[in-house]
Structure 1
Amino acid sequence: MGSTTGGGRWTFVMHGPDGSHHHNESMFLDVQPSSSVVVQHVSSPRFVLTVTLAPRDQGTALTWVQVFEDASVATRVRHIVEPANEENLDRLAAVLADLTTAPRPGAEAGDD
């Protein structure tokens, strides 16, 4: 599979527990199917997120590296970012677990 590079944009609004709304925009810098995604968060706080996937005996290892443009900003938002990232990864794990236990479309019981 080839790579997809440059320019895809993702805009969304995050809703805080206090009812606040946070407009976000990110740009996909690089997508390597089945192996990595690099996203630049272009709204504040600015950072680059690199997610890599590597096959392992019992599944896939996911590496999540988030580098902020300004280290002081990273320190200031750490108490928000770390638990939010953990929550996102937990949600991903739950979705993937459902996918691996769900029957394949059109498969009969015992067709594994």
Structure 2
Amino acid sequence: MGGKKKPTLSQLAKRQEKQQQQAQAKPAAKGKRAVAEERPTVKASLIDQKLLSDVEKEVIKWEYVTPYLVATRFNTKISVAYQILRALASKGTLVLVSKGHRTEVYTTPERLKQLAA
């Protein structure tokens, strides 16, 4: 019952000071750069023709395609991956194999014929 007590403001301030001191005291590891900390990765949130053509060239080689695979490989948002896959399906490059509540699975028409045979 109850739960964990929240720290006071002075406790939070002390904790932050300790973390800052530890971060400053840590020397950078040899041979490694802190580039990842300086520049956060920005995910694509718009569909452009270059991205669409890159995805189209790559996806043809895959056995199956899901929005998660496209989003992770091409560093896009999941919603953008859905839009890309739907555009490729309307174009005829991909075929919708299965659609559920949460995700969609696509494949190429050639692979679908192989599976059916």
Pairwise TM-score range, normalised by the shorter structure: under 0.3
Q: Which of 1 and 2 has higher RCO (CA within 8 Å, sep 6+)?
A: 2
Q: Greater helix percent: which structure?
A: 2
**Greater strand content:** 1
